[in-house]
């Protein structure tokens, strides 16, 4: 009984910490847009200081944060329900989402403070816990209830998908802020290389897992990059072609999965 009580308390603390961290990160993001540090929001910095960074997607793409936080709110509430207190999947996540949420707050401060190099460290502290959570949950490889799929698996997958893209953009922006010259290689060429790398990761996930969310976010980002760089024929065409290939990969994977299930 003592051990059970101790386990219950630890689960409660984890649930409460996750709930507070997610809502705290959301509040920090809202405040940073309403009362931006040093006078510019994150979007305004991207559109001004980094307007020449070719990997940054069009402004509309960042609306995905609404979906991300909607999913995280669902996860925060779902995992806090008494019925989920002993859920093994949620125990596997542990405090990973707490770490990611706290790192999100730190990243906002560093980016708005123009400490772009340090912001890379912060965004990696968001990315790595999400990768660990994604792998521990076995997203796309294990069958779960619809409620857990919608409230846990999809939020983590969408969040990871966007942070994967954001990490690439963050690193590119930080290098640009330091005056990096691309080692003599054109920025357009580097951008194509980065697009191919992001595509390769999403393609592997689309083929190996039953996860539409992660590659779907990558498609969203690729199309937004194409629109942002519409006048750059190389980047526009590469981004759109890669997005189309990902769509086809997802469709083919789903058709194959349905055939196997039948």
Mean pLDDT of 14-18: 95
Domain extent, residue 164, equals: 2-261
DSSP annotation of 149 reads I
Confidence grade of residue 210 (pLDDT, cut at 50, 70, 90): confident
Residue 3 scores a pLDDT above 60? no
pLDDT at 2: 47
The number of domains in the chain is 1
pTM, to two decimals: 0.94
Q: What distance in Å separates the CA atoms of residue 170 and residue 111, rounded to the nearest whole number?
A: 9
Over residues 25-59, the pLDDT tens digits come to 999 999 999 999 888 999 999 999 999 999 999 99
From first CA to last CA, the distance across the chain in angstroms is: 46
Cβ distance 32 to 42 under 8 Å?
A: yes
Residue 181 scores a pLDDT above 90? no
Q: What distance in Å separates the CA atoms of residue 9 and residue 85, rounded to the nearest whole number?
A: 10
Over residues 106-153, the pLDDT tens digits come to 999 999 999 999 999 999 999 999 999 999 999 988 888 899 999 999
pLDDT at 77: 95
**Percent over 90 (pLDDT), the chain:** 80
Half-sphere exposure of 140 (CA within 13 A, CB side): 23
């Amino acid at each position: 009984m003592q051990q059970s009580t101790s386990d219950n308390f630890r689960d409660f603390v984890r649930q409460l910490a996750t709930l507070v961290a997610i809502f705290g990160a959301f509040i920090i993001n809202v405040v940073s847009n309403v009362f931006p540090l040093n006078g510019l929001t994150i979007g305004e910095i991207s559109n001004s200081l980094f307007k020449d960074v070719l990997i940054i997607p069009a402004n509309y793409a960042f609306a995905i944060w609404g979906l991300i936080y909607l999913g995280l709110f669902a996860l925060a509430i779902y995992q806090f329900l008494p019925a989920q207190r002993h859920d093994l999947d949620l125990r596997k996540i542990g405090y990973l989402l707490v770490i990611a949420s706290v790192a999100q707050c730190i990243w906002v401060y560093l980016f708005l403070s123009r400490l772009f190099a340090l912001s890379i460290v912060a965004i990696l502290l968001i990315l790595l816990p999400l990768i660990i959570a994604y792998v521990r949950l076995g997203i796309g490889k294990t069958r779960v209830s619809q409620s857990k799929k919608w409230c846990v698996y999809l939020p983590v997958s969408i969040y990871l998908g966007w942070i994967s893209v954001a990490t690439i953009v963050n690193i590119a922006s930080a290098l640009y802020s330091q005056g990096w010259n691309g080692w003599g290689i054109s920025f357009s060429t580097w951008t194509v290389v980065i697009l191919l790398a992001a595509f390769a990761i999403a393609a592997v996930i689309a083929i190996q897992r039953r996860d539409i969310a992660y590659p779907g976010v990558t498609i969203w980002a690729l199309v937004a990059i194409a629109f942002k760089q519409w006048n750059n024929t190389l980047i526009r065409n590469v981004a759109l072609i890669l997005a189309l290939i990902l769509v086809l990969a997802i469709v083919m994977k789903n058709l194959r999965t349905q055939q196997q299930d039948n």
